[in-house]
Amino acid sequence: MLKGQMGASGALVKMADGPSGGNAVLVYFSCADCAVEAARAASAGGHLIREKMSIGPYGFIALIRDTEGNMIGLHSMQ
């Protein structure tokens, strides 16, 4: 997808020792700065699972667990 166009993009990534089936799919949401959004989620009752970390040329990710127990990924380029 090109920047500025509407729609959803995605990727499949295999995690070492990751579970299969059941609750094994992790959805990532794009944001301006994943550290900022992770902090917002934590302050709203969610839990920070993995602080902002670099994924090289692909930007940064953070992982949170929402108030219902769902793990969610956040992705940003900065």
In DSSP terms, which residues pair with 73 in a beta bridge? 28, 63
Tell the CATH topology of 28-76.
2,3-Dihydroxybiphenyl 1,2-Dioxygenase; domain 1 (3.10.180)
pLDDT tens digits for range 18-65: 666 666 778 899 999 999 999 999 999 999 999 999 999 999 999 999
- Given this model, what pLDDT does residue 27 score? 87
Residues 6+ apart with CB under 8 A from 63: 26, 38, 48, 49, 50, 71, 72, 73, 74
- Given this model, what pLDDT does residue 11 score? 72
What band does 67 get if pLDDT is binned at 50, 70 and 90?
very high
Q: Cβ(35)–Cβ(42) under 8 Å?
A: no
